[in-house]
Amino acid sequence: MKILVCISHVPDTTSKINFTEDNTKFDTNGVQFVINPNDEFGLTRAIWFKEKQGASVTVVNVGGSETEPTLRKALAIGADEAIRVNAEATDGFFVAKQLAKVVEDGDYDLIIAGRESIDYNGGMVPGMLASLTHANFINTCIGLEVNGETATATREIDGGKETLKTSLPLVIGAQKGLVEESDLRIPNMRGIMMARKKQLTVLEPVEANQETKAVQFEKPAPKGEVKLISPDNVDELVNLLHNEAKVI
């Protein structure tokens, strides 16, 4: 089984976010980048298929050379090879078109993408990728088994879970639950050294329209000041909740 894992290069959630050029461009200075968490759950499951069923695992990213350390980390975790499409990932449709070309050229059986990336939270790439490659698609996937040409997947739905059976090729939108957080892997020294020798192929992008554009970014409003009330002063607390906060 040939598996392709789509990797997004995203800011660490602990990073302080700023914007430049009149809030039209993300400021990357001082920002630590990581594998998108939803993608990391998918990558871990792909490595499980490699170890248990002998699958081959390729990771792919659409981005500039600055994303290569993230791809190298995926190789250190256990992926066999990596592909970088040399283009800025600014639009979901554009990214899906680039990934679709990689899928078609590689003849992959299973394509694992995160449900959404934690930077733009668009949640559109996996579905568009499935449509462009004429593959089956299961989103919000929290469980996956593959037996021959048949995949059994569990996904989250409103109020519960749903188990589906389908055939390969298949695109899934992975998320937390596909593997346990305790199963996520930290690259060891041997993996890091081996990653340096693994193939990282750089491809030029295919022509594709960018259907959306980020016009401007805006930070959430800062939190207001906190008033501390003595636990003995219940009357003052009630007064503030009633007359100032107006919650009672």
pLDDT digits (tens, 9 = 90+) for 77-95: 999 999 999 999 989 999 9
Domain at 2-220, CATH homologous superfamily: HUPs (3.40.50.620)
* CB 198 within 8 Å of CB 82: yes
| Mean per-residue pLDDT, 57-65 | 97
Confidence (pLDDT) at 157: 93
Confidence (pLDDT) at 17: 87
Helical ranges in 78-220 per DSSP H: 92-106, 125-133, 189-195
Half-sphere exposure (Cβ direction) of 106: Cα atoms closer than 13 Å: 26
Taking the model in full, what pTM does it have? 0.87
